Amino acid sequence: MTTDALLEPLYRWLRSAARWLLASSTMDGWLDLYERLHMAEGLLLVAMLALGLAIGAALVVACYATELGRQARFLSRRERLSNARLTCGSRLPGTVGMVDAVNAEIDAADAERVGALRAADEFSRGLTALSHDVRTPLTGARGYLQLALGEADPARRDAQLAAADARLAAMSGLLDELFSYARATDPDTPLDLGPVALRPMLEQVLLGHYPEFEKRGWEPSMTCGDVMVDADAEALARIVENLVANALRHGCGPLSVSARAEEAPGGEGGGVAVDFSNPVPDPSAIDADRLFERFYQADASRATAGSGLGLSVAAKLAEAQGMGLSARLDGDVLTITLAMAGGRIPPSPL
């Protein structure tokens, strides 16, 4: 008997057995059990994944809570004047950025505090110097008045009364500057901005100081075309008045005033810049960057008249009108530049 003859009956029997198993309910049970086992494994896997995520989330929350608690304790116990800065004890997402932001706010607050202390100290020193400036003419006026009371010669008495009046006028000028500074720094001070003819206003201020120029033997020069600027007329006149007075008080040569076209402050549209230039006796004693500071005087001995408020008032009034005020030294010539918006040529009269 050949091998094929033996295998053929075996094959037929196995095929019949397989068909019977597939058709029987026992096989269906086995298959159902297999599917249930697979489903149970899937549910178990899902449950394990959910448990792992929950544990991970709990650990992350615990880490964040620990880190935030540590930082909160540090901030609550930190001395305000301390140089200590917040540190990051972990590399959790967002914590480094938050620590950097908190430290930046601490640095900004410290810088603001230091600036306020310096400003207060400067203000205190300025007030002390200003009180000296006020007391000096007041004391002098009282002295001259006492001399005049006991003076029998009418001519000498008149001279002493005139000297007392001059001292009182100087004190009145200092008080006026203080009042002007208070108004210039008051944000509620009303300003009526509108077109202002620049040339007539400059001429009026210079003519008002003609006796002082003549006394010094100076011949001021002015170069300015017919141009309109956007400003408050009264505030602009006060700015020019203070700049001219500063040139007379601290300069040693004729004043030159020249207007030129320039880009407006802020870089928007056309504008005009007015330069006030005259030589000064000691340029090395002048810090051009500090000229507009309150109470600043280049003469440390305060031998010259003035309170150190004139240029500060001018700067504050210029700022309130959107103008720019700057200073520079070219050799022994001090130039203060007032930059304004406008620069329009007025229409010709019909």
Per-residue pLDDT of the chain (350 residues; tens, 9 = 90+): 555 555 566 666 666 666 655 565 555 555 565 666 666 666 777 778 888 788 877 877 777 777 778 778 877 777 777 777 777 777 667 777 777 888 888 888 888 888 777 766 666 665 665 666 667 777 888 888 888 888 888 888 888 888 888 878 777 766 666 666 666 566 666 777 888 889 999 999 999 888 899 999 999 999 888 888 888 888 888 889 889 988 888 888 899 999 888 765 555 556 889 999 999 988 888 877 778 776 555 544 444 455 567 788 888 888 888 888 888 988 889 999 999 876 655 554 44
The pLDDT assigned to 274 comes to 92
Tell me which DSSP letter residue 52 carries: H
- Hey, is 255 helix, strand or coil? coil
Distance of alpha carbon 310 from alpha carbon 243, whole angstroms: 8
Please tell me the predicted confidence (pLDDT) of residue 350: 41
Q: Are residues 218 and 254 in contact, defined by beta-carbon separation less than 8 angstroms? A: yes
The answer to whether 334 and 285 are in contact (CB under 8 A) is no
82's CB contacts (< 8 A; 6+ apart) are none
Instruction: Name every residue whose Cβ is closer than 8 Å to that of residue 297 and which is 6 or more positions away in sequence.
Output: 129, 304, 306, 308
pLDDT at 303: 46
Phi, psi of 10 (to 5 degrees): -65, -40
Amino acid 47 reads A
In the prediction, which pLDDT does 302 show?
42
Residue 278 CA to residue 257 CA, distance in Å, equals 9
CA-based radius of gyration for the chain: 44
